[in-house]
Structure formats: structure tokens, C-alpha cells
Amino acid sequence: MPQLRKDPIVGRWVIISTERAKRPRDYNLSSVQSQNGAFCPFCPGNEGTTPPEVMAYRDRGSPPNGPGWRLRVIPNKFPALMIEGGLDREGEGLYDIMNGVGAHEVIIESPHHHKSFSELDQREMENVIWSFRDRIIDLKRDSRFRYILVFKNRGAAAGASLEHTHCQLIALPIVPTNVREELAGSRSYYDLKERCIFCDIVHQELKDGSRVVLENEDILVVCPFAPKFPFEMWVLPKNHNAFFEDSKENEFKNLAQAMSLAFRKLDKALNHPPYNFILHTSPINDKSTTYYHWHFEIMPTLTRVAGFEWGSGFYINHTPPEDSAKFLRELEV
């Protein structure tokens, strides 16, 4: 069973895998090889090599764990957290430990091995978005979980170990530090102004225009005012909503359209860069309805995080967001 351990000073949790403990020689310090021609467990026909599927969008009548799917969700074969067991909180002197209980799933977005995320068509992109919603709604029913984190690693430099396009989802027994910080920040803004800070950002960015990448009826894509990384983008719903899974059908449709366009622009601007994106949404059963506002953050991996960033929590960004927004906005795709 993996352990959750808490840093006693700053309260940051880490997951310590105790089962497949790595020795020094297990860390591959060279870069990940291209996987051209290698066996892909995410391709149709290889369903038997993955853990049994949790959910799939399938052709009518096709049986589970065989071909015929358009999107497939499976447990991660090497999960960071284990689905079985209780939390078993305990202390060890001044330290805190609990069992690494959680769900770790993989969303295989398309049966086509060579399609990248930005190449998904409108229908496929909508499937991806609906799968986030469907998995969140299902996992919320497990009372051990406090937060469901949906994210994507694309490219080896961004942490992906397989190239077949996929997202991941981790259900956690605690609300993670970064989410708590965002909730606290937006809560204190609300307490001061009685307005949602993200709604204010949407209004100010639409009025100003200089950081807008694209928009449609429901969705705004901007380069944020204080981006950690060059070409970082935030995807915000224009209407206030704390919980991603409560969005309306029309919002998901427009989200799919905006995401497709944003990633096509990103891929063209930076020649298919490695990146991460993360869904920021409210914790399960949270009371954040009035002050929080779900959104996606997209972070291209163009630079290295180094000593200054680790030590300070500051980031140094050599591309002003006004420049990257203008570049992306004007790029034809």
C-alpha cells in the first residue's frame, strides 16, 4: 500500500510508493525513446493487456474490453494510489502518515494511435469532456474521496510515458494543497467584494482584450496576467459555476470547440510542444459554490523549473502574456 506522508513544516503531502521501490539504477536519466512501432496497450485489439475498463463509449452491442469503443476509461496499471482499503491515519513522532487510498484512471481519448489531442474532431473532443464529467459524478459517490483531479501529460518532457493520446484522473482522500490555496484566495476575494474573482477576471480580460486568445458564446481562452510559464493559457467558462460536472450541455459543446481551437493554435505556434493541462474544479461536497469557478489551465513545458523556482515559488517568464496571446490570437489554424 502506498503511503501518504505530510511534510511537517509546510503541510505538503507526498505519495511514497513502498511496493515498487526504486533503487538508483532504476532512474533512467536519458530521455524517453520514441515509441514508433512499439506495442501500444491503448490501441484497439490490445484491450486484454490493460486492467478491465471502468467505462467506455462504445458502438451499440460491442462487448466491454474488446474493440468497438470510441473512448475508453481504465484503471492505471501502475497506480499512484490504491482503490482498496481505509485511510488508517497515524502519527510517527511529529510526522503524519495515512494509507495511499485513491483511484487512478486513464482516459484513452480515441482508438487512433496517431491522432493527437488537437487533432480530435468536435465529436471526439466532446466525448473527452463528457468522460471527465461522467467519471467525476461516479467517483463522487465514494465517501472516502475529497477531490478528483483530471489532467493531461503530453510528451515525455511533460511526464507522459505513452504517446497514444490520453488523460488521467486521480481521486484523492484529501483536498490537495494547490486546490486549497486557490479556494482560500478566491474565498478571501469574495469576502472582500462579494464577487467571484474569476468572474471579475473574465470581465476585465474581455474589456481589455490584450490577453484574449479566443472566445465563443460560453468560453473565454486567455493568457493569464501572471503566467508561470510562456504560452500558458486558461480556459474559463463565462458563466459562473463552481463545479465542472454541473455545466450545461451547450457549455460542454462550446468548451470542446474552444479547446480544439486553443490546442491547434498551441501545436502550430510551438511545433507540437510537450504540455500539461489541469482541470481546476471544486472539491466534492464543497461549499465553494459562490466564490469558486471551474476552469482549465494549460501549461506548455518549454522551460525547466530550476533552483530559483523551487526555492521561491516565483516563476521567471520570458514571454509577456500580451505577446503570447497576440501571437496565438492571430495564428490561423
178 lines the binding site for a second copy (CB under 8 A) = yes
Size of the site for a second copy (CB under 8 A): 97
CB of 137 to a second copy, least distance (A): 19
The question of whether 104 is a catalytic residue gets the answer no
Half-sphere exposure of residue 204: CA atoms within 13 angstroms, side-chain side: 9
Minimum CB distance to a second copy smaller for 50 or for 168: 168
Cα angle 98-26-24, degrees, rounded to a multiple of 5: 80
Q: Which 261-290 residues touch a second copy, going by CB under 8 A?
A: 269-271, 273-274, 276-280
112 CB-near residues (< 8 Å, 6+ apart): none
Q: Which of 1, 12, 45, 114 contacts a second copy by CB under 8 A?
A: 12
Cα angle 53-54-55, degrees, rounded to a multiple of 5: 95
Q: Which 39-68 residues touch a second copy, going by CB under 8 A?
A: none
Amino acid at 114: H
Q: Please identify which of the residues 164, 166, 293, 295 carries the catalytic annotation.
A: 166
Q: Which cell is 64 given?
A: 466491454
Lay out the site mask for a second copy across 203-242 (x = CB under 8 A, - = otherwise).
-x---x---------------xxxxx-xx-----------
Minimum CB distance to a second copy smaller for 58 or for 264: 264
Cα dihedral value 60, 62, 68, 74, nearest 10: 110
Q: Which 59-118 residues touch a second copy, going by CB under 8 A?
A: 80, 92-95
Query: What DSSP string describes 53-80?
Result: PSEEEE-TTPPTTSS-EEEEEEE-SS-S
Amino acid at 328: L
177 lines the binding site for a second copy (CB under 8 A) = yes
Residues taking part in catalysis: 166
